[in-house]
Amino acid sequence: MRKRLIVQKFGGSSVANVERIQNVAKRVAAYKKKGNDLVVVVSALGDTTDELIKLADQINSDPSEREMDMLLSTGEQISVALLAMAVHKLGFEAISFTGAQGGIITDAAHTRARIIKINTDKIKEELKRGRIVIVAGFQGITLNQDITTLGRGGSDLTAVALAKELGADECEIYTDVEGIYTTDPRIEPKASRISAITYDEMLEMASLGAQVMQSRSIEVAKKFNVPIHVRSSFSDKPGTMIIEEVKKMEEVVVNGVTLNKNEVKITICDVPDRTGIAAKIFNQLAANGVSVDMIVQNVSRLRQTDISFTVSKSDSQKALKLTKKVAASIKAGQVIEDHDIARISIIGVGMKSHPGVAASMFETLARNKINIEMISTSEISISCIIKKKFSEKAVKVLHEKFGLAK
Amino acid sequence: MRKRLIVQKFGGSSVANVERIQNVAKRVAAYKKKGNDLVVVVSALGDTTDELIKLADQINSDPSEREMDMLLSTGEQISVALLAMAVHKLGFEAISFTGAQGGIITDAAHTRARIIKINTDKIKEELKRGRIVIVAGFQGITLNQDITTLGRGGSDLTAVALAKELGADECEIYTDVEGIYTTDPRIEPKASRISAITYDEMLEMASLGAQVMQSRSIEVAKKFNVPIHVRSSFSDKPGTMIIEEVKKMEEVVVNGVTLNKNEVKITICDVPDRTGIAAKIFNQLAANGVSVDMIVQNVSRLRQTDISFTVSKSDSQKALKLTKKVAASIKAGQVIEDHDIARISIIGVGMKSHPGVAASMFETLARNKINIEMISTSEISISCIIKKKFSEKAVKVLHEKFGLAK
């Protein structure tokens, strides 16, 4: 068998304590024993990052971003050193690297840096010596030698970027769930693990509330066609492959149902129906860093219209204030906010070639007396805004309707 | 007034918690406000290092030294980031550096690395910008980009080496005592702070039990004539200057009395009085990494002699085993160990030119019925081994005799 190179990434919960670090070491050693090459990316131990943030906050509630990166990057440095020691204990050769030593060069946008390039020379050299290379996730260094961090989900990005740069056969993302599910198993116990999913579907899943991997790392994986395997660090079962194209005898139309209860709906009533009005509203929001999710403009009557949109809860106060200002300036009517909403979505590349999926979704909701307040569609997803109280029921009936139950 | 450059070093107890970090920041800011340049070297927060060692020990009781350095160096990295944030909070510009960023290049002897050179370009650049530069103590980096640590007292060494390399006007070592005392104030409440002491005297003080600064950093300070000011991080009082030569109207003969209760005496009885026998014994100990402190060979009788020496408690079991082996091979008699001993020493450059100091010491001990078991002298110190129970009494009577009381 050809020697394979795999990049494995373990999140904070996989290395939360001594016992779990030892388990990761065992897994890594077992893989190495088969004669393959291995690069391991690790996050900070359990709550380390949160504790460091708390400490910083006691000293300066508005800390310099450069110093924050200096502080937080120690979390992963501790993890890689401890994991290397645990691997040594099992009799295997391993070496730990900080982001800097791993050659991960970023721009200087502290706390949300972007990877510019990766100098893999040192990693390749150590792989050639037969060592397991353990790299600190989430961090990098600028050309000026300043330590940076990559922002939320940064360790996934480190793993995917390394897999791409090293030409790895696979990038395994270890997490505390067994893969990507057709819907949230806490809501629908019949939810089943998806064995394979496309990058595009995963992007929809990620942005619509499935919190397994951050969108950014999936985008990079898609761009460079890096096969990802999301799996559990507590079992040996296969998880979910995220790949370019899923080939099946009979194409699955819908791959998953997602729910997002963290949005707020804002409606501007009686908007004068003039060209450029919508642009005026949403430019204002964008300029102030508010990202808008769904937008619906109702049918115009009497040269006036209602415009509704959703924003995340955390942005809602800011959005409301800005919207009221704009509404006054364009002589629109009342601005109403509605917190009692949920977004329910179905996702699947199959729906492109299967007409009638949308109708089937609406009909299912209607038959269950769930009123639809807003609708938005993309190439591979359909989303509806409904009342919060119907959330769980909607998930269950759609999961059933599209044959996702195990 | 000319702009001065000072290197300040704060130990772990000075930055043990948020409040203390804030106090260090205030002190640093106050100094900067006077218009001077400032480089600050910081150790790890309080017990951080011990906690990391404990964590490592749970994973691998014999950890790789490279990985230990990787792990422990995070302690100082956390300190410098937090101190920088605290200084920012006070409205001053500051930037933190790891050892690597501070240009501290070492050899690859992990856990006890030696500084090869310091590239001060980045530090100088930031000083020129008017920033307070905060450098992680205790750590450096090899030319191969491996993180190293400098061993015990490493942060003092970082401070002294930076002071030398930057041509600083002074190197301030902040600690939890107010300076160097004539003897341990816990034993003799009349102990007084020494305002100035020579490098040589300080080296004797350090190696004889005064645990303020490690010998290594004083040796470097002496070599490059870096003036050191040891002072308290909890007060503004001046401490002790450690300098090349102390000029005074009337020279002080004895500057301090030190006590060391951590030694064990080993005696080999009936050693055949042949050339090269002593060398044989002590070569064997040295080859096994045991450092011997005092050595006394008694007057030979009947072509046989007794040889006594002292070693530190931690080395005593190893030393005893080795000595018994050698004793057998050279056909010597019994090997006896004695844990009930203490070493009492008087130190002062003045004694070189004042005959009778030794006699005065012996007489004082005798008058107080303290029996002397071994004697050893250097240019600037005289040490006696006595029974442990006389330790405190010996300190007090000698401190009194040589006029050191305040």
CA angle B59, B62, B65 (to 5 degrees): 105
Q: Which residues of A touch B63 (CB under 8 A)?
A: 85, 88
For residue A20, tell me if it sits in a domain: yes
What pLDDT is stored for residue A296 in this prediction?
83
Q: Each residue of B219-243: pLDDT tens digit?
A: 999 999 999 999 998 888 999 999 9
What sign has the CA pseudo-torsion B198, B204, B206, B210? negative
Q: Each residue of B78-94: pLDDT tens digit?
A: 999 999 999 999 999 99
Indicate the range of A140-154, A251-265, A374-388, B275-289 predicted with least confidence.
Answer: B275-289
Q: What's the CATH code of the domain at B20? A: 3.40.1160.10
Q: Each residue of B337-371: pLDDT tens digit?
A: 999 999 999 999 888 777 788 888 999 999 999 99
For residue B23, tell me if it sits in a domain: yes
What pLDDT is stored for residue B227 in this prediction?
95
Q: Each residue of B107-121: pLDDT tens digit?
A: 999 999 999 999 999
Give the strand pairing for A263-272 and A335-338: antiparallel
Q: Which long-range contacts (CB under 8 A, 24 or more apart) does B117-121 make?
A: B118/B161, B118/B162, B118/B165, B120/B162, B120/B165, B120/B166
Whether residue B264 is predicted with pLDDT greater than 60 in this model: the reply is yes
- Give the Cα separation of A215 and B291 in Å (integer): 60
Torsion of CA A151, A155, A158, A163, to 10 degrees: -150
Whether residue A154 is predicted with pLDDT greater than 70 in this model: the reply is yes
Q: Does the beta carbon of A85 lie under 8 angstroms from any beta carbon of chain B?
A: yes
Whether residue A240 is predicted with pLDDT greater than 70 in this model: the reply is yes
Show the domain range for A24.
5-176
In chain A, the number of structural domains is 1
Whether residue A1 is predicted with pLDDT greater than 60 in this model: the reply is no
For residue B165, tell me if it sits in a domain: yes
* B209 pLDDT tier (thresholds 50, 70, 90): low
Which residue among B71, B85, B122 sits closest to A82, beta carbon to beta carbon?
A: B71
* A205 pLDDT tier (thresholds 50, 70, 90): confident
Q: Which residue of B has its CA nearest to A84?
A: B67
Structure tokens, B384: 């006696």
What pLDDT is stored for residue A124 in this prediction?
97
pTM of the model: 0.84
Min Cα distance A124 → chain B (Å) is 15
What pLDDT is stored for residue B300 in this prediction?
63
The answer to whether A134 touches A42, Cβ cutoff 8 Å, is yes
For residue A153, tell me if it sits in a domain: yes
Give percent of chain A above pLDDT 90.
67
Q: Are the beta carbons of A74 and B74 separated by less than 8 Å?
A: yes
Half-sphere exposure of A62 (CA within 13 A, CB side): 4
Instruction: Identify any residues that bridge with A305 across adjacent strands, giving them in sequence order.
Output: A271
Give percent of chain A above pLDDT 70.
96
Q: Which residues of B touch A136 (CB under 8 A)?
A: none
For residue B72, tell me if it sits in a domain: yes
What sign has the CA pseudo-torsion B316, B318, B323, B324? positive
**A61: DSSP letter:** S
Whether residue B304 is predicted with pLDDT greater than 90 in this model: the reply is no
Phi first, then psi: what are they for A260, rounded to 5°?
A: -135, 115
In 3D space, the residue among A151, A144, A166 whose CA is nearest the CA of residue A40 turns out to be A166
* A16 pLDDT tier (thresholds 50, 70, 90): very high
DSSP string for A195-255: SEEEHHHHHHHHHTT--SS-HHHHHHHHHHT--EEEEETT--S--EEEES----SS--S--
Whether residue B250 is predicted with pLDDT greater than 60 in this model: the reply is no
Which residue among A52, A82, A147 sits closest to B55, beta carbon to beta carbon?
A: A82
In 3D space, the residue among A200, A217, A118, A78 whose CA is nearest the CA of residue A159 turns out to be A217
For residue B219, tell me if it sits in a domain: no
For residue B83, tell me if it sits in a domain: yes
Indicate the range of A187-196, B203-212, B287-296 predicted with least confidence.
Answer: B203-212
* B378 pLDDT tier (thresholds 50, 70, 90): confident
Min Cα distance B339 → chain A (Å) is 37
Whether residue A43 is predicted with pLDDT greater than 60 in this model: the reply is yes
Instruction: Identify any residues that bridge with A3 across adjacent strands, giving them in sequence order.
Output: none
For residue A239, tell me if it sits in a domain: no
- Write down the number of H helices and E strands in chain A: 11, 20
- Give the Cα separation of B357 and B336 in Å (integer): 32
Taking only residues 25 to 84 of chain A, the set having a beta carbon closer than 8 angstroms to any beta carbon of chain B reads: 52, 55-56, 58-60, 63-64, 66-68, 70-71, 73-74, 77-78, 80-82, 84
Instruction: Identify any residues that bridge with A6 across adjacent strands, giving them in sequence order.
Output: A38, A170
Q: Are the beta carbons of A82 and B59 separated by less than 8 Å?
A: yes
Q: Does the beta carbon of B101 lie under 8 angstroms from any beta carbon of chain A?
A: yes
- Give the Cα separation of A253 and A346 in Å (integer): 10
Q: Are the beta carbons of A81 and B56 separated by less than 8 Å?
A: yes
* A278 pLDDT tier (thresholds 50, 70, 90): confident
The answer to whether B229 touches B173, Cβ cutoff 8 Å, is yes
- Give the Cα separation of B26 and B11 in Å (integer): 16
